[in-house]
Amino acid sequence: MPTPPVAKKIPKIDVVHGDRRQDPYAWLRHRDDPDVLAYLTAENAYTDLGLKPTAAFQETLYAEMLGRIKEDDTTVPYRRGGHFYYTRTEKGKQYPILCRKHASLDAPEEITLDLNRLAEGHAFLALGAWAVSDDGRRLVYTVDVTGFREYTLYVKDLGTGMLEPDRVERVASVAWSATPATFFYVTEDHAKRPYRLWRHRLGAAGDDLLYEETDELFRLGVARSRSLAYLFLYSASHTTTEARYVAAGDLGGVWTVLAPREHEHEYEVDHGGDLFYIRTNGGGRRNFRLVVAPVADPRPERWSELVPHREAVMLEGVDVFADFYVLQQREDGLARLRVTSLPSHASHHVEFPEPAYDVEPEGNAEFAAGAYRFRYQSFVTPPSIFDYDTVARELRLLKRTEVLGGYDPTRYRSERLHATAADGTRIPVSLVSTKDAPRDGTSPMVLTGYGAYGMPYPVTFSSNRLSLLERGVSVAVAHVRGGGELGKRWHDDGRLLRKRNTFTDFIACAELLVGEGYTTHARLVIEGGSAGGLLIGATLNMRPDLSTAAVLRVPFVDVINTMLDASLPLTVGEFEEWGNPKLREHYEYMKTYCPYTNLAPRRYPAILVRTALNDSQVMYWEPAKWVAKLRTFKTDDRPLFLKVNLDSGHGGASGRYDALRELAFDYAFILTRLERAS
């Protein structure tokens, strides 16, 4: 191995609640300091040199993964107004091309937006908002060309293909009014918090500021109902919502509060006929219920219940149509769809055959639709687009993502297991392996997790994952507390002063897999990204012997220092997720798990850390500081690599080919470490 970089130390001492905290690597925050870029570049050079022996293997993996993808492909068109919209990709091009056809699928193609053209001259490109006016003549969209998730708004005349002069910086969300020349948008403050709602009239000299959210816990978002009749403005923290509404055609109308904000009351609204449909968890009904209210007077005292709260069922979402509505529910960690006909209110479930899977709504733009479109997939079933006839109760498969190279799903086995945490809680584990994978402890495995924000970890298909499975490596997901697999209480039990449950749950899942013969500690790799990187960082300190290697992608590892800095994006709003270290109780609890704080002299596994210079979610200096500090503590000779993408943000490379190369790099690290352990 080459000699790793050594980051200089510049003393910085902070006193928090009488506790002296030393941070010799705080200087890495100063992005404009030439020494910072020099250090990050040195880390990249060290990583590239250390993994140079895998260069040919990386190319093999890249070719494998690319060979399974249909490079020229098209999504299933969906109807909105007078057009059918779809996206297609072309071989050799990094980004999708957004298209439509007027009235019929046999009509000539119109390209609404070619992201490849927009990406010219940029190392990164991400599309944010995208919305077509009701008359189909104009497109408003936002793009980010740095990775910092700072989006600029443009308006395109779809008839001429030319851009209008209108342009707005730092836009977070956008929605058209029913008047084709007017739309509404939300802009961000200095800390990237969406906080101001504006009305924009095409060609007007200035925009009208309609609302400003002054509470730093809350973020704004504007949206249009599927019925197109109403606009909604949401002001939401992690635990509380306040929604305003206005008729989409009433440009000067008052945005009326539906239900005033109340601590730990979250709700969202949809519209159908003369009713608002409201998903609400007020009154301690944490897993939500469904109520309706008359549009003429939707005050909370007029709410009437359609679907009651159920302790074992999480109501995740509601899609309302003219003749039916669909509930997205989660029970025992699995997504379910419940269809209710209108006006009879007769209900039934759509059944799915596999032990673990994922279901998401897909392209349901028309309010008067007769079928419900969704995307179904699992560890072994590629993404499949279905139309469900809600009257005949029949499924129609429209498209299944093609996996080139002779993919045979019968060669693989998907399982659902449960680990037992120290407090007796059962933790779901989803697992995929080849059918002939032995259960004698000889199989290598990758175990991943997330466990934050009440977000379930989806059980999705990946043709790229076949490069692991075909080499005998099983893949498992630990559905730990802090996520949303088992409802709001599952989230509550893994946040704030219960956050350590997330990490101990993950360890329990790893011990289950070892104890049941699926793998051994010496043949286990653990990985996670963002808040999942926090999970892995905390786990490495608690149980450095748990695995032979670890991969941390854009990891949130400097919890205390970040949460002490209210000027950073996300910090204030996330007091409700992680806590506020300016409160002594929260600070003392964070000290027990913060990965950066708890590094100590011990043997750690081989580690690969990924970050990005323009990351706005987890700043690059968190993983950089963590790696620099870990190098001074670790007592082993196993490699510790830091890979910095200097041109992207939180999600890594934006181009599809570039993203594959990043994954091939990671897989080469994982597979070579597992080979060493065999």
- For the record, the structure tokens of 96 come out as 């999708």
Q: Would residue 63 count as lying in a domain?
A: no
Which H helix or E strand runs over 676? helix 656-677
Contact 258, 276 (CB under 8 A): yes
Contact 629, 22 (CB under 8 A): no
Could you tell me if 192 and 304 lie in one domain?
A: no
Closest by alpha carbon to 404, among 23, 63, 35?
Answer: 63
pLDDT of residue 355: 86
Helices (H) and strands (E) in the chain, counts: 12, 39
Q: Would residue 504 count as lying in a domain?
A: yes
Contacts of 48 (CB under 8 A, 6+ apart): none
Residue with tokens 């892995």: 536
Could you tell me if 270 and 181 lie in one domain?
A: no
> Residue 521 gets which letter from DSSP?
G
Could you tell me if 350 and 300 lie in one domain?
A: no
Contacts of 301 (CB under 8 A, 6+ apart): none
Q: Would residue 660 count as lying in a domain?
A: no
Could you tell me if 453 and 377 lie in one domain?
A: no
The Cα–Cα gap between 11 and 594 comes to: 20
Average pLDDT over residues 9-18: 96
pLDDT tens digit sequence for 47-66 = 999 999 999 999 999 999 99
Could you tell me if 522 and 565 lie in one domain?
A: yes
Q: Would residue 112 count as lying in a domain?
A: no
Average pLDDT over residues 446-470: 97
Give me the long-range contacts of 81-84 (CB less than 8 A, separation at least 24).
81/132, 81/134, 81/136, 82/136, 83/132, 83/136
- For the record, the structure tokens of 466 come out as 């076949």
Could you tell me if 381 and 490 lie in one domain?
A: no
* Single-letter amino acid code for the residue at 548: T
Report residue 180 CA to chain centroid gap.
Answer: 32
Tell me whether residue 650 is one of the annotated catalytic residues: yes
Q: Is the pLDDT of residue 1 over 80?
A: no
**Residue 284 neighbours by CB distance under 10 Å:** 8
* Single-letter amino acid code for the residue at 535: L
Could you tell me if 215 and 294 lie in one domain?
A: no
- For the record, the structure tokens of 414 come out as 């998907």
Catalytic residue among 530, 547, 616, 654: 530
Q: Would residue 19 count as lying in a domain?
A: no
- CA dist 295 → 256, 277, 300, 343, 654 (Å): 11, 10, 12, 17, 42
The Cα–Cα gap between 480 and 508 comes to: 10
Q: Would residue 623 count as lying in a domain?
A: yes
Closest by alpha carbon to 167, among 185, 147, 188, 148?
Answer: 185
601 prior amide bond cis, ω within 30? no
Contact 184, 199 (CB under 8 A): yes
Average pLDDT over residues 108-129: 98
pLDDT of residue 356: 87
Domain that includes residue 292, residue range: 259-311
* Single-letter amino acid code for the residue at 291: V
Could you tell me if 477 and 609 lie in one domain?
A: yes
Pairing type for strands 524-529 and 445-449 reads: parallel
The Cα–Cα gap between 253 and 260 comes to: 19
Could you tell me if 373 and 489 lie in one domain?
A: no
Q: What is the CATH number of the domain that holds 156?
A: 2.130.10.120
- CA dist 416 → 163, 334, 631 (Å): 51, 11, 38
Q: Would residue 88 count as lying in a domain?
A: no
Could you tell me if 288 and 215 lie in one domain?
A: no
Count of the separate structural domains present in the chain: 4
pLDDT tens digit sequence for 232-283 = 999 999 999 999 999 999 988 999 999 999 999 999 999 999 999 999 999 9
Catalytic residue among 443, 615, 648, 666: 615
Could you tell me if 242 and 126 lie in one domain?
A: yes
Could you tell me if 438 and 489 lie in one domain?
A: yes
The Cα–Cα gap between 29 and 39 comes to: 12
Q: Is the pLDDT of residue 123 over 80?
A: yes
Counting residues of the chain whose pLDDT is more than 70, the rounded percentage is 100
At 656, is the pLDDT very low, low, confident or very high (cuts 50, 70, 90)? Answer: very high
Contact 380, 432 (CB under 8 A): yes
Tell me whether residue 615 is one of the annotated catalytic residues: yes
Give me the long-range contacts of 31-36 (CB less than 8 A, separation at least 24).
31/613, 31/620, 35/8
Closest by alpha carbon to 119, among 141, 99, 146?
Answer: 146
Q: Is the pLDDT of residue 319 over 90?
A: yes
Q: Is the pLDDT of residue 332 over 90?
A: no
User: Which of 311, 326, 355 delimits the end of a domain?
Assistant: 311
At 205, is the pLDDT very low, low, confident or very high (cuts 50, 70, 90)? Answer: confident
Tell me whether residue 530 is one of the annotated catalytic residues: yes
Counting residues of the chain whose pLDDT is more than 90, the rounded percentage is 97
Q: What is the CATH number of the domain that holds 591?
A: 3.40.50.1820
Average pLDDT over residues 428-453: 96
As a whole number, the mean pLDDT across the chain is: 97
Residue 375 main-chain phi, psi, to 5 deg: -110, 125
Give me the long-range contacts of 301-306 (CB less than 8 A, separation at least 24).
303/278, 306/277, 306/340, 306/345
pLDDT of residue 377: 97
Q: What share of the chain is helix, strand, coil (3-state, %, to 5)?
A: 20, 35, 45
User: Which of 270, 291, 311 delimits the end of a domain?
Assistant: 311
At 180, is the pLDDT very low, low, confident or very high (cuts 50, 70, 90)? Answer: confident
Catalytic residue among 235, 467, 650, 654: 650
Q: Would residue 103 count as lying in a domain?
A: no
